[in-house]
A and B are shown apart, each in its own frame.
Chain A
């Protein structure tokens, strides 16, 4: 057993109202630069829909993720090492900017500088690539709220796969549609195919928290990571010629703050926490022959932080004590492993993604209520989950490689929670058989309800600081007590460089870091000195 820690996220899709606040705040924080106009580290898609970039889930075209070779071993779908190097001079599977969308701005100056005339001046859209007027034909959320669905949603790769398997049609006529929102960020996978695709070795997974990053100084712009990522969440900055991706806001996470997308989420649907996993089991789990068994296989990789053996192994592996404690309180661990309501996005890509989703029950409840039924009656709900086959199978294509079982179980638990809590709220004694029918106890259901419905900030985001047990020291300064350069073999020890003290060395930026835990402690404590 080789325990490692990973900061993971769970999103509760039932709560997503598709407001794009996460996307906009992320864009303002991270990709508000030239060369990154078309890039959204966080985007919200309406499903069924083509997604961003268009049809990114069609891996027969884009060749992202892993596949099994004839011997049952993992290989990159875009080809092995030699294949990659031989084809390094161009990358036939690279999406063009137009597959995302052509970024544009508006000719605002014309509004004030247009000569006097009969017509009102307008601000024409101008392409940010060519600088010429353009016709806007696509964007990152062009098909929001099923806009143009009768034509566009047919191109959803998951819809097409459903069509091949089941004879019944996914309906896009107005009365029969269903939809939900899917916010997506980088999955920070346990078996990242983007990292494996990088010829320069510039991409890496951090050992402390599992965040996948691009070293901007080592990236040489070979673009293989863009192809390698099946979620298309590594982007090519066309100004600097370097790959960039979601950083899980690591500067915030390091000081105990949630990511920008989580912090600003209006629906409070995101959960952040630590997952402990066994690094020795990752490859075997990712090589599971059956696509549909990959969800269970990934569950088998996670370690239970309540297990004393796991905790001592984690301690030996150098995982700080407060990280193990955070793993025990982790809302993410509870939703994934304990209540089993969260599911991975496209486990069939074999990258072991670490941003999981609680499938939406609301289309089912809405459909029931819309037809005059009691949307919170358990029998009605159970019946509806099964008969509304299209959402269920569609969800299964997204979250479990087409296996309806886990999706049904997850929705069943959510449905049972609704019925159980309704009884409580109406003052009725809860029917114990409801909880039992989904394999949970009444208390467990109430705990799950608390986590899903009313969990406060510090219950949704359980993030141990990077500076282990040093939160106090971090209060006012990023500098530790001693000189930060004063470590073994560091410049503080070694005297001056050939051309004076700063020769050839990079200086640390001196920043004052305010962190959430310190702020809260200061504002809620009775003592004056803190």
Chain B
């Protein structure tokens, strides 16, 4: 069981993520969209959506720091375990609260606004269950272990997560981890696997290139369709 959950599941999730992204990119670029429902309802979305998205971005950053920055690095910077815990507790809780408020408002909007609800697919509902589950369980796991220095996941979960990259997962590290954290991790992996098959795929099209491209984009007609084709090599015009 332990091998399945902590040794195989991460790789399965990762494989599903990558394979799904490749599949989507090759065969379903048309379906790759945010599928925004803002044209139906704008007022609530203008509050809830930025709250949720900024919240979840902070949560993501927190997870990256927590899992992939070893304890020895922060200690060498002079950050004690207690300081780190307080930082992670308050920072994480703040981001989490923002996220939860955002998603609760978004789900409320989705359920009560009838055009939005009609535009919600089964796929969306499944995604919302997993997403909300991952977020809420994460919050509960964190807040259930606040006494003292809290649960120090940086001695168990984080080294396990890092060991995944070396292809020698140290599954034994996960055995003593509190159940709440374990459930959160499993749902999190399910969420990662789901991303390419749901509307969450839009996270991989964050349009950073917009900052660097010229404003007006020009394109030529596809030469394979009608019209002049580019000259073949050796047949270019002499004065060109």
Residues of A in contact with B (beta carbons under 8 Å apart) = 81-82, 84-85, 87-92, 94-97, 129-132, 191-192, 195-196, 198-201, 203-208, 216-223, 236, 238-242, 254-255, 320, 466-468, 474, 478, 480, 484-485, 487-488, 490, 504, 508
Contacts and interface: CB of A to CB of B under 8 A. Distances in A.
Interface stretch (B26-34, B70-78, B134-142, B169-177): B26-34
B221 A206 contact: yes
B29 A217 contact: yes
Contacts of A242: 30, 33
A279 B178 CA distance: 65
A218 B36 contact: no
B63 to A, nearest CB: 19
Contacts of B26: 504
A96 B42 contact: yes
A221 B36 contact: yes
A220 B205 contact: yes
Contacts of B233: 488
B228 A219 contact: no
A35 to B, nearest CB: 9
B168 interface: no
B53 A207 contact: no
Contacts of B114: 129-132
Interface size grouping (class) on chain B: 35 or more
Given A89-B54, A195-B217, 4 more contacts: A82-B211, A85-B207, A223-B36, A490-B224
Given A90-B46, A204-B218, A238-B37, A220 B227 contact: no
Contacts of B115: 97, 129-130
A452 to B, nearest CB: 32
Contacts of B50: 87, 89-90
B108 interface: no
29 contacts: A84-B210, A85-B210, A87-B50, A89-B49, A90-B49, A94-B42, A129-B40, A192-B216, A196-B215, A200-B207, A201-B213, A204-B217, A206-B218, A206-B221, A216-B30, A217-B29, A220-B33, A220-B34, A220-B205, A220-B207, A222-B34, A223-B36, A223-B39, A478-B225, A485-B224, A487-B223, A487-B229, A504-B26, A508-B224
Interface string B92-126: 00000000000000000000001100110000000
Contacts of A198: 210, 217
A487 B223 CA distance: 9
A467 B39 contact: no
Contact of B39 (A87, A96, A204, A488): A96
A333 to B, nearest CB: 22
Nearest to B204: A220
Closest 3 CB pairs of A and B: A199-B207, A241-B35, A196-B215
A201 B217 contact: yes
A312 B238 CA distance: 16
Of listed A87, A207, A218, A220, residue having the most chain B CB within 10 A: A220
